[in-house]
Structure 1
C-alpha cells in the first residue's frame, strides 16, 4: 500500500500506517517545527537542527522541502522558526520543488495545502502532478489521509464556522480530486459533527465535506456529470481507546472510496459489511443525480452507541481492545527500575520497530511553585471523593462558592493535602481552615484535573497544564514523553524543537507538547491502516496472497 499524508504534523498517523508496511509517497505539513520532528523520525540522518548549525551541510538533497519560504536553503535555522502564516505567495519566495517532480518522491513538503494544490494544478508543474498520480512508478495512489486542523470545530475552543481553518477539509477534497487515490481517509474531532448556526440555520460541516467528496470529478477539465468520478463516503464516530490507546479520544473518521473502487468492493463484500454502506450509497447516488440531500440521508456509524454494527466487519480493528488505564502507559516513568506494562511493550515492539533507535527521551520534569503543587494535590484528592463533593470544591476554586456543605466536609476531612515542603501532607481538622485553604488556591482555569490511574486519560490537548499526574509524589504536569506514551508513541520516537511556547507565539508555533496533543495516535493509525489494507486487498482480488491471508486471519481472530 502506498499513501500520501496531508496535515502530517509530527507523524502519528504516518507512523501507524508505516507499521503495516505502507510506502510514503509524499507528506505535507504547514508547521516547520512539527516538520522537524517528522523529518528526524522518518528520514534517517535528517537532523535539521544540527544541519542548521552547519549551513554548508544544508544541501539540496534533503527530503524536507519548502514550498515557499522567505529564506534560502542555506538559512535553514531561520526556516525552522519561520511563521507559517507569513510564507510568501507562490513565485515570490524560495521554492525547493522542481517542476518535473524530481526528488519529490518520499519527501515532506513544508507549506500551506492551499498553495500546494495551486502548485500542482499549475501548467508548468504538470509532469510533477502526473508522476505523483502514478505513484512515482507504481501506477496509482492507494490512499490519501490526514487530519485537517480542528481548533474551529473543537468543542473545547471557540467554534467559528467562518474560521479560515474550516476551508482545510475542502482543500483536502481538492487534493483528492487532483490525485484520484483509491481511498481517502479524513480524521477530525467529534466537534465537526455538531452543527454551526449560520444565518439562523443549522450547518453540518462533516455533511458538507462528505458532499464535496461525492461531487469530486474524475476529469477536472469537465463539469460534473452523473457518471464521472466521485467518492462514496463512509462516516464513523470511533474512539481511540477501543483501538488500544490509553486515552479517551473520540474521533470522526470518513473513509471515502473512489466510485470504481466502491463498485468492486460492493460486489465482493458480504453481510454485515454490505449494511455499512447502505446510506452511503444512497447519499452518493442522490448527490451525483443533482438531488437535494439532507443530514438524515447519510448515517454516521457510532462505535459508542452501536458497537455491534462493527463486529464481524472490516471495521473490527477499531473496536477490538478493552480500554487501557493511564497507569499502564506512564507508571514505569516515575523512576528507574519500574517494570514496563504490556501496553508499553506493545507500542515499542509494534511501532518502535519502524524507527531507528534514538537516545533522547523527552522526559524532562516541569518545575512548579508551591501554590501550583498544592492545587495539583487538590485535584488528586477530588479523584478520591464523590462527584458532588468534587463539584463543590471546583466551585470554590472557580470563585462561585464561599463555603462547603457538611456532607462535603465529612468526605474531605480524612484526605491529606499538600501544605509545605519537608513534611508536606496534612489533614484539616476544622472546616473553616480547609475552606480558607481552598479559597487561597482559587483559579480561573476550568479544565485542569488530575489523571485517574485506573482509567484512560482524557483527550490529550496541546496545552500541558490541563492535566497533572495521579501520583502524590509527582505534583506536576506530564512530561512530553508521558503525553506521548498516552498517545501511543513508542519511546524511540523523538520530539524536536522547543518543548512549549506562550504569548503571541502560540498563534503560529507548534512546540513538542502541541505536536503530541495534535497528533493522531499511532495505534489508531495502525488500526485504520489495517482496515484500508484489507479493503485494498479485497479490491485487488489478492486476498489469498501470503500477506492478505494474514490480514484475513488477523481480522477473524478479532471476531
Structure 2
C-alpha cells in the first residue's frame, strides 16, 4: 500500500469515513481512511466494486494478490450506502452492474432447465410451509393436488392439521404422503432446514408446488406493524426452502400490509433519503435471484365463494424456464385464477356473494338448540349447539361428509350484563353493522376494546381475526363459536380442530388455540381456486414448451435436409 497522499475532500468527514469503513470491513480490505488524510484509491481487478476518489489516480491490484478474500458478500444495503457516499461532493463512484449475492440467497444454477413435472394423469405434489391448521393445504387438496409434507411450529395447529390430513381419516381429500425420514410433529422451518437439508435436496423434482403463509403479525394493519418483529424475516427461510426443493411453482399468502414499506430510513448528516422497501419487494427480489418470476396481487376472498370480506395478498411464482413459454409470463396465473373463480362458483352453484346468514344461520341457538359440551378439550360447565340440519345451499356444501356431532360448536359463557349489552347493540339502529365500531359507539356502551364489529346478516362477514371477541353475532347476543368462524372461512364441517379453544395473557404469543388457528388460516375455497389455477398454469407452460421443442426439431430436420 502506498503512503498517504493528502487530498482535499469537502464532505462531512466523520460520517463519511465511518460509513466508508463499514464497506471496507464487509469486503475485508486492508487499508483505512483517516479523518485527517486520505489515501490513493485502490482498484481491485476482477472485483465488480471499484470506488475512485478524485483527484487520486487509481492503483490497480489483482484480486489474486490479496492474502485474504472477502469474508462475506456485500449486502444490498451496503451497496446502497456506497452509492450514496460516492454521490457526495468531491467523490465519484465507478460501479458496473452489480450482481452481488446475499448470503444464503445465491443465484440458483441451471435456471434455464425446467423443473421436473409429474407424468400425465399424475397429481401435482405440494409442500406447505407455515401451514397453521391446514387451510391452504386443504384448499390445494380440494383442487386435486397431493401433499408431501407440511411445516408448522405450533403444536396445537399441527395437531389440527394432522387430525385432518395426515391420519388417514375417511375424508374427501387425499392424505399427505409423508416422507419416512421426517417425524410427524411440529417443526420450525429453521429446524427442518438445519437438520434435514440433505433430505430436502433429495425431494427436488418431487415437490412441484411450494406453498406457505409466513406469520403476518408484523405486517398486519390490525397489529403494531413492527419492522423489528423477527417473524417478518421468516420469508427468507421460505426462499431457502425454494432453493432446496426447486419447485415448478410457488404460492405465498399474506396480509396486504406485506406490500407496504416500513418507515423510511435516512442519513441526516449526509442529507440522503433512502426509499424503503416493503417485505413484498424484498421477497420478489430474493425469488427473482433464485430463478423465479413472481407477482403478487391483493384479492378479496368473498369473490371466491367465501362468506367473508377478507382481502389477502396472494403471491404466485413460476420457474423462469416455464414462464418464458407463457404469454405475459406469471401474469397469466392471475388471468387463469379469474377464469377459475368464475368456474368454481358455477361448479359449486354459489352466487357471487354469500351472506353471513347464508353461511351460519343453521348454527343459531334459536334454530339448533343447545346441550352440554362434550368436547374433551373444554372444561365442564359449557354448552354447545345441538346441530340438526342445513338451511341453505352453502350450508349443505359445508356439511357434506360431516359426522352428526360437529367439532368445535362450544358456546361462550357470557355474563348476563354482557349479554344484555350485546343485545342493546344489536337492536340499536344507530349502531353501524358490518364495520368496526367507532369511538363514540364504544364509549356509549362502555366498551374498552378498540376493535369490535357487529356483523350484518345480509352481507359477507367482516374479516375473521384471531381474537374471538372481535366480531359479534348478527342476531344473538354473543360472540361466534369456532365452528361459525370456520364456516365463514369456508372450512367444511368434517374438518376437526384440536387444542385449547382460547388462551390469554403471556401465552397469547406462544400458543395457537382454535380461534387463532381459524383466524390465521387461508380460506380453503380461495386456496382451492389458487390450486386449480396453478394446475392450469403448469399444464399450459408445459404444453407450450413441448410445442416449441417439436418446432425446433422440425426446423433442424429441414435445415439438414
Gaps of 5+ in 1: 48-61, 66-100, 136-140, 217-229, 278-300, 302-309, 400-437, 545-559
Query: Which residue of 456, 459, 462 corresponds with 1:458?
Result: 462
Which residue pairs with 1:481 in the alignment?
483
Which residue pairs with 1:442 in the alignment?
446
TM-score by length of 1: 0.63
Query: Which residue of 299, 316, 320 corresponds with 2:339?
Result: 316
Which residue pairs with 1:169 in the alignment?
235
Query: Which residue of 2, 15, 26 corresponds with 2:138?
Result: 15
8 Å Cα contact 1:359/1:492 also seen in 2: no
State how many pairs are aligned.
Answer: 382
In the TM superposition, residue 338 of structure 1 has moved relative to its aligned partner by 5.9
Gaps of 5+ in 2: 1-123, 267-274, 346-351, 369-387, 547-561
Q: Answer with 38-47 or 181-190: which moved more.
A: 38-47
In the TM superposition, residue 274 of structure 1 has moved relative to its aligned partner by 5.9
- Asked if residue 362 in structure 1 is aligned to residue 423 in structure 2, the reply is no
1:445-524 equivalences in 2 (<5 Å):
445-471=449-475, 474-524=476-526
Deviations 1:280-339 (A, max 9, x none): xxxxxxxxxxxxxxxxxxxxx9xxxxxxxx6x6453234665121111110011123564
d(CA) in 2 for partners of 1:500, 1:345: 28
The root-mean-square deviation of aligned C-alpha atoms, in Å, is 3.0
Which residue pairs with 1:329 in the alignment?
359
1:191-270 equivalences in 2 (<5 Å):
191-200=257-266, 201-216=275-290, 230-264=291-325, 266=326, 269=327
In the TM superposition, residue 30 of structure 1 has moved relative to its aligned partner by 0.7
Deviations 1:381-423 (A, max 9, x none): 35x43759x99x9544544xxxxxxxxxxxxxxxxxxxxxxxx
1:58-457 equivalences in 2 (<5 Å):
102-104=180-182, 108-121=184-197, 126=198, 128-135=199-206, 141-200=207-266, 201-216=275-290, 230-264=291-325, 266=326, 269=327, 276=331, 313-318=336-341, 322-334=352-364, 335-336=367-368, 339-349=390-400, 357=403, 359-382=405-428, 384-385=429-430, 394-399=438-443, 438=444, 441-457=445-461
8 Å Cα contact 1:144/1:185 also seen in 2: yes
Bigger relative CO (Cα 8 Å, ≥ 6 apart) = 1
The verdict on how the C-alpha distance between 1:115 and 1:41 changes in structure 2, with shifts beyond 3 A counting, is same
d(CA) in 2 for partners of 1:169, 1:459: 24
d(CA) in 2 for partners of 1:7, 1:498: 20
In the TM superposition, residue 341 of structure 1 has moved relative to its aligned partner by 1.4
Deviations 1:100-120 (A, max 9, x none): x6444xx75522112222223
The verdict on how the C-alpha distance between 1:243 and 1:313 changes in structure 2, with shifts beyond 3 A counting, is same
In the TM superposition, residue 40 of structure 1 has moved relative to its aligned partner by 0.7
The verdict on how the C-alpha distance between 1:156 and 1:117 changes in structure 2, with shifts beyond 3 A counting, is same
Report the 3-state secondary structure (helix = DSSP H, G, I; strand = E; otherwise coil) of the residue aligned with 1:197.
coil
d(CA) in 2 for partners of 1:46, 1:64: 14
Q: Answer with 520-529 or 196-205: which moved more.
A: 196-205
The verdict on how the C-alpha distance between 1:467 and 1:197 changes in structure 2, with shifts beyond 3 A counting, is same
In the TM superposition, residue 209 of structure 1 has moved relative to its aligned partner by 0.7
In the TM superposition, residue 166 of structure 1 has moved relative to its aligned partner by 0.5
Deviations 1:154-190 (A, max 9, x none): 0000111111000111211111011100001010001
Which residue pairs with 2:162 in the alignment?
39
d(CA) in 1 for partners of 2:138, 2:545: 24
Which residue pairs with 1:298 in the alignment?
none
The verdict on how the C-alpha distance between 1:332 and 1:257 changes in structure 2, with shifts beyond 3 A counting, is same
Pair member with larger Rg: 2
d(CA) in 2 for partners of 1:182, 1:63: 19
TM-score by length of 2: 0.63
In the TM superposition, residue 371 of structure 1 has moved relative to its aligned partner by 2.4
In the TM superposition, residue 380 of structure 1 has moved relative to its aligned partner by 1.7
Report the 3-state secondary structure (helix = DSSP H, G, I; strand = E; otherwise coil) of the residue aligned with 1:151.
coil
8 Å Cα contact 1:314/1:534 also seen in 2: no
Report the 3-state secondary structure (helix = DSSP H, G, I; strand = E; otherwise coil) of the residue aligned with 1:133.
coil
Which residue pairs with 1:280 in the alignment?
none
In the TM superposition, residue 359 of structure 1 has moved relative to its aligned partner by 4.0
Report the 3-state secondary structure (helix = DSSP H, G, I; strand = E; otherwise coil) of the residue aligned with 1:315.
helix
Deviations 1:94-147 (A, max 9, x none): xxxxxxx6444xx755221122222233xxxx2x22432242xxxxx2100011
d(CA) in 2 for partners of 1:515, 1:10: 6
Which residue pairs with 1:292 in the alignment?
none
